[in-house]
Amino acid sequence: MIQVYNVCKSYQKDSSALDQINLKIGKGEFVYLTGSSGAGKSTLLKLLYGGERPNRGQILIDGRNLTRMGARQLPHIRRRLGIVFQDFKLISTRTVFENVAFALEVQGRKRFEISKKVYAALKNVGLEHKLNRRPLELSGGEQQRVAVARALVVDPIVLLADEPTGNLDPETTLELMELFKGANARGSTVVMATHDRELIRRFPRRVVTLDNGRVVDDSHV
Ligand code: ADP
Ligand code: ADP
């Protein structure tokens, strides 16, 4: 599902955020990206959703070469990805419903279909009763669940998450993990950056460890 070949990324001369990364992630896998702050986790995720481009190397998602895509093609593959951030990145002026509906509107779906899918996605995260609220009226955990609903409403082939539990308390973290496991069980390949060792211990999956822009460990369970 994800193939990364000899990828290098540097933001500035003389320092590299990623150095010769090679990685294959199969369809349906659940993979943690771990490593200390500055190791390159966010950068790798950004390259996987096309938020940044590598200086060298190739990235394929579902057999399509991201690195060769132009600005017109990239949005097509991006629409099939779900992305969850540590700081949620919800649009505060829009309701919960509108935040989740946005990805489907961009796809040009019919209004009836959008309503049905948004409702189902919010029900999946237990927030169908809050669809008319705005993000700032919700707790942090609820906001993150809205962000997860937004990511999952498109039935993503790949779910990418950058420290999604970083701002959550332990109990809310477990709820979020159940949602990720559910998405994974329904077929989404999951790549989640985290430095939460306890989380990895409780939900053991493949762990790819980065250090200083290199893969230093890759342990399958
Ligand atoms: P992590 O997510 O593991 O904390 P990052 O991918 O954010 O690591 O960062 C990897 C390295 O790249 C760090 O040295 C960081 O300072 C640098 N970096 C990340 N983003 C940028 C940027 N936009 N501009 C310059 N340097 C960056
Ligand atoms: P995280 O460690 O959670 O990935 P950071 O706090 O390292 O997040 O980075 C937050 C944002 O700042 C990211 O968009 C990253 O690309 C950017 N960034 C990180 N390091 C640098 C840097 N040295 N110079 C400029 N931007 C950076």
Cα 216 to chain centroid, rounded: 22
Distance (Å, rounded) from C-alpha 118 to C-alpha 103? 10
Whether 221 shows a pLDDT value over 80: the answer reads no
Nearest ligand 2 atom, CA 86:
3
- The secondary structure element, H or E, covering residue 158 is strand 158-162
Please provide the average confidence, as pLDDT, over all residues in the chain. 95
The least confident of 2-6, 52-56, 74-78, 182-186 is 74-78
Which of 7, 10, 11, 44 most suits a substitution to test ligand 1, by most atoms within 8 Å of the C-beta? 11
Top-confidence residue, 29 or 106: 29
CA distances from 104 to 25, 67, 79, 150 (A): 27, 25, 9, 9
Amino acid at 92: S
Give me the helices (H) in the chain, please.
41-48, 74-78, 96-106, 111-124, 140-152, 170-185, 197-202
Q: Is 37 in the pocket of ligand 2 (CB under 6 A)?
A: yes
pLDDT digits (tens, 9 = 90+) for 192-219: 999 899 999 999 999 999 999 999 999 9
**What are the tokens at 51?**
């938020």
Nearest CA to ligand 2 atom 26: 11
CA distances from 81 to 25, 38, 215 (A): 15, 24, 23
Mean local confidence (pLDDT), 57-83: 92
Top-confidence residue, 68 or 18: 18
- The residues, ordered by sequence, that sit 6+ positions from 56 with a Cβ below 8 Å of its Cβ are 6, 7, 8
- φ, ψ of residue 167 to 5 degrees: the values are -110, 15
Whether 179 shows a pLDDT value over 90: the answer reads yes
Mean local confidence (pLDDT), 150-174: 95
pLDDT digits (tens, 9 = 90+) for 90-123: 999 999 999 999 989 988 899 999 999 999 999 9
Share of the chain above pLDDT 70, in %: 100
Mean local confidence (pLDDT), 133-157: 96
pLDDT digits (tens, 9 = 90+) for 76-89: 899 899 999 999 99
Q: For residues 7 and 20, is the Cβ–Cβ distance under 8 A?
A: yes
Whether 39 shows a pLDDT value over 90: the answer reads yes
Task: Give the alpha-carbon dihedral of 8, 50, 220, 204, to 10 degrees.
Answer: 130
Whether 190 shows a pLDDT value over 80: the answer reads yes
Distance (Å, rounded) from C-alpha 18 to C-alpha 34? 14
- The secondary structure element, H or E, covering residue 217 is strand 214-219
pLDDT band (50, 70, 90) for residue 58: very high
Q: Is 163 in the pocket of ligand 2 (CB under 6 A)?
A: yes
- Closest-CA residue to 149 (of 203, 77, 101, 91): 101
- Ligand 2 midpoint to CA 40 (Å): 10
Whether 49 shows a pLDDT value over 90: the answer reads yes
**What are the tokens at 140?**
């942090």
